[in-house]
Structure 1
């Protein structure tokens, strides 16, 4: 029969420096992850792969820091403002297009002419007829 103490595994906390040393050895090809686990007596099979993910070279590359100069920062602010202005202008143009499309639909319904296809003499004649009828 198992008791609580027998079922519990011993948990070892390794220092960050030790983890980084093991990761460096594995990444440099000096030893395999399984070999390092056996050499250093690390019981968990997932420990070293998780250390590689956390402390490995790929993780360091993804966390590169870029320092901007004042000129670059000012340019970024200006570009963000321009981007915001252009987005607003685009939204406004969409509203204008919808308004014109609505106007064309209403005019087509009133004049019984397909304005999208027949724009010119027929439209002028229909408008003239409509104006004379309303008088």
Structure 2
């Protein structure tokens, strides 16, 4: 088995600076620079821009919000937190009630959930008479 020979291209600092300057000062697109100089790597020039250039030319997401939008977002986040706490309390209350029913059932030796369900259906049937 023989190793395939890969072509490794090393670019000088001055060449990298030239390309970065053309992109920053002349408005040359990265894809145009790739074609013009035969640079094959998809991220090569982006790395050069990070190292040698200005960060503002890389794709960045900038979110512009008004004060009202920021305030509304904070309000909604507070409301979500409050609702999560309320839901946790409701789950805790439900679990406590089920445990009380379970313990009472052990104490009286019967399944109170089934008895309660049966009694409720019996009483609803007697109300229709």
User: What TM bracket, shorter-length normalisation?
Assistant: 0.5 to 0.7
Residue of structure 1 equivalent to 2:45: 51
Match of 2:54 in 1: none
Once the two structures are superposed, the pairs formed by residues 18-29 of structure 1 within 5 Å of their partners are 18-19=22-23, 21=28, 23-25=30-32
> Which consecutive residues of structure 2, in runs of 5 or more, have no partner in the other structure?
1-9, 50-57, 120-129
Could you tell me which runs of 5 or more consecutive residues in structure 1 were left unpaired when the two chains were aligned: 1-8, 27-32, 122-135
Alpha-carbon offset, residue 95 of structure 1: 1.3
| 2: CA distance, partners of 1:10 / 1:17 | 15
Question: Which entry has the higher C-alpha Rg, 1 or 2?
Answer: 1
Picking from 93, 102, 106, the partner of 1:105 is: 102
Identify the residue that residue 17 of structure 1 maps to in structure 2: 21
Residues paired across the two proteins, number: 95
CA distance in 2, matches of 1:37, 1:107: 82
> Per-residue deviation at 1:10?
6.9
Given that 1:108 and 1:115 are in contact with CA atoms closer than 8 Å, whether structure 2 keeps it comes out as yes
TM-score by length of 2: 0.57
Q: CA RMSD in A?
A: 3.0
Residues 1-135 of structure 1 aligned to structure 2 (within 5 Å): 11-13=12-14, 14-15=16-17, 16-19=20-23, 21=28, 23-25=30-32, 33=34, 35-38=35-38, 45-46=40-41, 49-51=43-45, 60=59, 63-119=60-116, 121=119
- Secondary structure of the residue aligned to 2:13 is coil
- Give the match's secondary structure for 1:17: helix
TM-score, length-scaled by structure 1: 0.55
